[in-house]
Chains A and B, each alone.
Chain A
Amino acid sequence: KSCSILVTDANFECNEENIMLQAMDNSHIALVSVEIGAPGFTSYRCDRTMPLGVDLTSLTKVLRCAKDENICTLKAADEADVLNLVYDAKSAFFSPFFFAFMWHGRDASSPFPPFFLLCSALLPLFIHLNISLSSQTPITSSWPETKYDTRVTLPSAEFTRIVRDLSQLGEHVRIEVSKEVVRISKLKAKSSAEDEDNDSIPTGVVIEMNQHVSLTFSLKYLVNFSKSGSLSGEVQLLMSNDVPLLVAYDFTQGYIRCYLAPKIGD
């Protein structure tokens, strides 16, 4: 869901170790990179590496029909052009679902017929899978290895609140990191004792800095990135003065990493 805010179509690169997704938004200002490792699934089998080109908007709609207690099984046969999702409804009764989803063989862009369906555990939900032949050039392969000048770790809820509040006030924000202070909305690391009594400074802000950094970013994108906040209790902001910002959410099964090109000139 947090990816579908940024990109509409993307390739899920499936191999025997994991499922990865890398995609840029249409304006090439942001890039999202997702990895979910095989151990993160109850069971996982991938007989051969294959790219699954999926319309994320449709996938999000279909996944919204699942309840927390459902177990979702994703299947794609060899040479398939359909991704098969089956929800194993634990409860005995069936609840009617109203949703639209792609019919097998329909083009991704055409509007889907609204469809009223009594969902049952046995009835597989098909969404049309556009296997996109041109998978995107993976461009983040070297950025994670980039040695960033600074890394700020803070509670993801705090980051979400800050960028949401600031986005009410303007379009962009300057993030400045020095030894003791991350100046987004004047966050300070809770490093020295005298900070203890100042409860306005949130706990759990850790600043690692090799070199002072000061960059300006679009708040619209930061707000979009913060939608991944529910996946992890904390978020890392990695910055250097000459590479895109990395907003990283790590979770048990893998990660979501969002890259954002800075704004330049004051």
Chain B
Amino acid sequence: TPVQNDLSEYFSLL
């Protein structure tokens, strides 16, 4: 079953 990511994973993109 796919595991849900959360948005904090992407903050580093900023």
**Of the residues A24, A31, A262, A266, contact of B5 by C-beta under 8 Å:** A262
Please state if B4 and A261 are interface contacts (CB–CB under 8 Å). yes
Please state if A263 and B4 are interface contacts (CB–CB under 8 Å). yes
Please state if A264 and B3 are interface contacts (CB–CB under 8 Å). yes
A27 contacts partner chain B, Cβ-Cβ < 8 Å: yes
A71 contacts partner chain B, Cβ-Cβ < 8 Å: no
Q: How far is A143 from B7 in the complex, measured between Cα atoms in Å?
A: 12
Please state if A27 and B6 are interface contacts (CB–CB under 8 Å). yes
Q: How far is A141 from B13 in the complex, measured between Cα atoms in Å?
A: 11
Min CB gap B6→A, angstroms: 4
Query: Number of A residues whose C-beta is below 8 Å from B?
Result: 24
Min CB gap A214→B, angstroms: 12
Min CB gap A10→B, angstroms: 15
Produce 1/0 per residue, A17-39, CB < 8 A to B: 00000001001111100000000
Min CB gap A213→B, angstroms: 15
The interface residues of chain A, by DSSP majority, are classed as: loop
A57 contacts partner chain B, Cβ-Cβ < 8 Å: no
A80 contacts partner chain B, Cβ-Cβ < 8 Å: no
> Which B residues lie within 8 Å of A28 (CB)?
6-8
Please state if B7 and A243 are interface contacts (CB–CB under 8 Å). no
Please state if A264 and B2 are interface contacts (CB–CB under 8 Å). yes
Closest to B8 in A: A28
**Of the residues A141, A243, A266, contact of B10 by C-beta under 8 Å:** A243
Given the contacts A139-B14, A243-B13, A261 and B7 also touching, CB distance less than 8 Å: yes
Please state if B7 and A263 are interface contacts (CB–CB under 8 Å). no
Q: How far is A266 from B3 in the complex, measured between Cα atoms in Å?
A: 8
Closest to A141 in B: B14
10 contacts between A and B (CB under 8 A): A28-B7, A28-B8, A139-B14, A216-B2, A244-B7, A259-B7, A261-B10, A263-B3, A263-B4, A265-B2
**Leading 9 A-B pairs by shortest Cβ distance:** A263-B2, A261-B5, A28-B6, A216-B2, A263-B4, A261-B7, A142-B14, A28-B7, A29-B6
Q: Other than the known A28-B6, A261-B5, A262-B5, what 9 A-B pairs have Cβ atoms closer than 8 Å?
A: A27-B6, A29-B4, A29-B7, A30-B7, A142-B14, A218-B4, A259-B7, A263-B3, A265-B2
